[in-house]
Amino acid sequence: MNRKWTRAICTVLTSALVFTGPAVEGITFSGYINSGLEKVYAKTKKQKDAEKKKSQAEQDLKDKKNEINGLKDQQQITADDIKNKSAKLDEILAAQKKLQTDITSKQAEIEQNQKDLAAAQEKQQEQYDAMKKRIQFMYENSAEDNIWTAIIESNGITDMLNRIEYVSDVYDSDRALMDSYQAAVEQVKEIGTKLDNDMNELTAMQDDYEKQQADVEAAIVALENQKEQYASQIAQAQQQAENYQNIITAQGKIIQEQEAAAAAAAAQAAAARANSSSSSSSYDGGGAGKGGSIAGDYAAGGGKNPGASTGVSGSSVVSYAMQFVGNPYVWGGNSLTNGVDCSGFVHEVYAHFGISTPRYSQAFKSVGQAVSFDNIQPGDVVVYPGHVAIYAGGGVIVEAQSTKAGITANRSVQCHTILAIRRLV
């Protein structure tokens, strides 16, 4: 270990012994450990527990959201099934309506056929009765040998033939009429039989439609019940998801509080270390301008204190930045481990949290939101003439200071004239 690191560690340990700042649960300044070029402080048990609970709640929330999406998919499928079943029911009801019209029409045809049959049978009976009377009259008014009588009493051959032909014609005429009436009756009966068969088919179709209607209506009721069950399950899952989100928020707040306390403690320890150094010794540091002065727009009492604009906490930014204290300063560098300059340091730290920043120190005066000095918080960006840093809390900044000093967290926030204070989170 080189002399520079030995001196720095001794200074930190000495400062920790005399430090009288606010205590942080479960952490001491011996919690700073050397691990190559990286220095990190130990997390408190409370923070570890909170991170574990937060991580578990985040996984539970993810699983629950997947469950909710699955339930919603099933609910939509059920809704589509209900829609299809309802359309099928409409088709059945429309078919039933048409069928009822057909049955009514067929019933009218059957009734008319029955009337026609009755009329044909009546006509047949009338003809039959008339024929019987003619036959009876012919035989009652003629001798049993009426054919011979017709021959004997005839006035010649012509008259004889006429008499015989008349008797035969009467018989043939009656027979033909009876045959025609009987044929008419049979035809009407055949039509009636066909109409009865048609009606039987229609009533069978009616029974089938009624069964289909009952089945579809029962299916719709079951699907509606299933849809309500999905809605209940979704509501319950959403309540559970909300509970998980509340846990995440609560544990996240605990983590932020622990990180902020640790960052403030670390910054104050660095300030104590700086104060324990010789006040007369010169120190190479980035920036210029007389210390203590602040540009008018950012002076105390300016009332500028914007709220959070991202889900990232300033203490998280400081905690991440503090890991690189002791690493080298390299002008134009972009590696927090192997070397970086002042603007590159701020740029890379914020890039870790997905926040885009410029690469030139003075350009930081126009990013984020303005903050008055008396409202400065850990994570705020402080711009000096030719220099830029991150406020670490406790009155000090974490910065890529200079080639000689490297990345440090021991200088006062008022080490140079403050041109701007900007809040990016």
Q: Look-up: residue for tokens 């008797």?
A: 167
Nearest to 113, CA basis, from 193, 208, 33: 193
Q: What does the pLDDT read at residue 59?
A: 95
Give the pLDDT band of residue 273 (cuts 50, 70, 90). Answer: low
Pairwise CA distance, residues 133 & 131, whole Å: 5
Give the pLDDT band of residue 351 (cuts 50, 70, 90). Answer: very high
Q: What does the pLDDT read at residue 243?
A: 95
Each residue of 374-418: pLDDT tens digit? 899 999 999 999 999 999 999 999 999 999 999 999 999 999 999
Pairwise CA distance, residues 402 & 363, whole Å: 19
pTM of the predicted protein model: 0.47
Each residue of 200-220: pLDDT tens digit? 998 999 999 899 999 999 999
H or E stretch covering 182: helix 157-276
Each residue of 131-142: pLDDT tens digit? 777 666 665 555
Mean pLDDT for all residues in the chain:
80
Are the beta carbons of 202 and 102 closer than 8 angstroms?
yes
Q: What does the pLDDT read at residue 182?
A: 79
- Whether residue 37 is predicted with pLDDT greater than 50 in this model: the reply is no
What's the whole-number mean pLDDT along residues 267-273? 60
Strand partners, 40: 33
Pairwise CA distance, residues 93 & 108, whole Å: 23
- 280/346: higher pLDDT: 346
Q: What does the pLDDT read at residue 405?
A: 94
What token pair was written down for 235? 């509501």
What token pair was written down for 99? 């069928």
Query: Which residue type sits at 137?
Result: F
* Choice among 188-197, 263-272, 344-353 with the minimum mean pLDDT: 263-272
* Choice among 161-170, 274-283, 284-293 with the minimum mean pLDDT: 274-283
What's the whole-number mean pLDDT along residues 15-43? 39
Residue 119's Cα: distance from chain center in Å?
Answer: 74
What token pair was written down for 25? 């649960």
What token pair was written down for 195? 């109409």
What's the whole-number mean pLDDT along residues 254-261? 79
Count Cα neighbours of 252 within 13 Å in the Cβ-side half-sphere: 14
Strands 396-402 and 387-393: antiparallel
What's the whole-number mean pLDDT along residues 246-252? 91
